[in-house]
Amino acid sequence: MASDKVISFKLSEDVLDQIDFFVEEGYSRNRSEFVREAIMYKLRKLGYKI
């Protein structure tokens, strides 16, 4: 089983504000979960089997 790795990247304040809004509305537990789910969604949409 693969272990989780840490990555870092920059986001504009506007994008971060949108993520925070959705987290506050209960769509995700926190920023990390929101970004992780968004990445997984994009990978599935591109045909990756996850």
pLDDT, one tens digit per residue, over 17-33 is: 999 999 999 999 999 99
Contacts of 35 (CB under 8 A, 6+ apart): 19
What is the band of 40 on the pLDDT scale with cuts at 50, 70, 90?
very high
Largest CA distance in the chain: 36
* pLDDT of 48 over the 80 cut: yes
What would the mean pLDDT of 40-47 be, rounded to a whole number? 97
Q: What is the DSSP string of 1-50?
A: -PPP--------HHHHHHHHHHHHTTSSSSHHHHHHHHHHHHHHHTT---
What would the mean pLDDT of 9-20 be, rounded to a whole number? 98
Share of the chain above pLDDT 90, in %: 90
